[in-house]
């Protein structure tokens, strides 16, 4: 091995070690266990950029159709241009479209159904660290930690699953301890908990 190769290998090992220490540091030992129920019964889906919405205008099929929400959070539909959709629930968006259409259609009745889900950035679930596939997911009501880990493909061989934490942005970034190893490797369903919009799951690397 020449000197340059050895140097790059050393830098790589050092970078991985630093990342492992950083993630491990995020998982504080004094974090309380995550509550099994996250109190999401009153959750209403909020439209985000990248969603697709089906707009149905009663008795006006020419004004109906499925339309994307652009990266700027707006959508364009027949007689409705540059309308902000991001951050609104489907009923709220339907009422806004009715107001726009009332200039052209007498007493419009509009229904909005989200057909492709991404959700607002602030409500996406993120998985970082030693997951097989670190990713982000749109939040869904009653989504659990097990649902998230199935989507992420489980843990890597280097994960310290029982030192993982959930950082709950909806509670001012409060941290909760979760037992991923018990849940994934041992099938202990008592370790399963509900997620909340905006949760960040941090899975540290074990220190060998």
Residue-averaged pLDDT of the chain:
88
Query: Is residue 19 included in any domain, yes or no?
Result: no
Q: State whether 30 and 132 are in the same domain.
A: yes
Is it the case that residue 93 has pLDDT exceeding 60?
Answer: yes
Range of the domain at 187: 25-42+121-203
Measured CA to CA, the distance from residue 56 to residue 63 in angstroms comes to: 8
The kind and range of the H/E element at 147 are helix 145-151
Is it the case that residue 39 has pLDDT exceeding 80?
Answer: no
Q: State whether 105 and 72 are in the same domain.
A: yes
Domain boundary among 116, 151, 166: 116
For residue 43, the model assigns a pLDDT of 84
For residue 10, the model assigns a pLDDT of 45
Determine what percent of the chain is predicted with pLDDT higher than 70. 84
Query: What are all long-range contacts of 70-73, with beta carbons under 8 Å and residues at least 24 apart?
Result: 73/48, 73/49
Q: Give pTM, 2 decimals.
A: 0.78
Q: What is the dihedral of CA 151, 180, 195, 54, to 10 degrees?
A: 0
Query: Is residue 99 included in any domain, yes or no?
Result: yes
Q: State whether 149 and 106 are in the same domain.
A: no
For residue 30, the model assigns a pLDDT of 81
Q: State whether 112 and 143 are in the same domain.
A: no
Q: State whether 64 and 98 are in the same domain.
A: yes
Q: State whether 126 and 112 are in the same domain.
A: no
Of residues 29 and 137, the one with the higher pLDDT is 137
CATH number for the domain that contains residue 139: 3.10.560.10
Q: What's the rounded mean pLDDT across residues 88-105? A: 97
């Amino acid at each position: 091995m020449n000197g340059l190769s050895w140097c790059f290998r050393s830098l790589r090992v050092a970078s991985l070690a630093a990342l492992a220490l950083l993630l491990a540091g995020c998982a504080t030992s004094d974090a309380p266990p995550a509550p099994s129920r996250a109190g999401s019964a009153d959750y209403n889906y909020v439209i985000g950029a990248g969603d697709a919405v089906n707009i149905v205008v009663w008795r006006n099929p020419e004004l109906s159709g499925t339309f994307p929400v652009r990266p700027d959070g707006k959508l364009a539909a027949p007689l409705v241009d540059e309308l902000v959709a991001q951050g609104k629930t489907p009923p709220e968006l339907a009422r806004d479209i009715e107001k726009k259409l009332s200039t052209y259609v007498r007493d419009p009745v509009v229904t909005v159904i989200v057909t492709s889900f991404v959700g607002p950035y602030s409500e996406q679930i993120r998985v970082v660290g030693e997951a097989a596939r670190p990713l982000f997911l749109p939040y869904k009501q009653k989504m659990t930690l097990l649902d998230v880990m199935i989507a992420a493909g489980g843990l890597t061989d280097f994960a310290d699953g029982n030192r993982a934490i959930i950082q709950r942005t909806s509670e001012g970034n409060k941290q909760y301890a979760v037992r991923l190893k018990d849940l994934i490797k041992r099938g202990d369903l008592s370790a399963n908990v509900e997620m909340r919009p905006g949760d960040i799951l941090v899975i540290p690397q074990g220190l060998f």
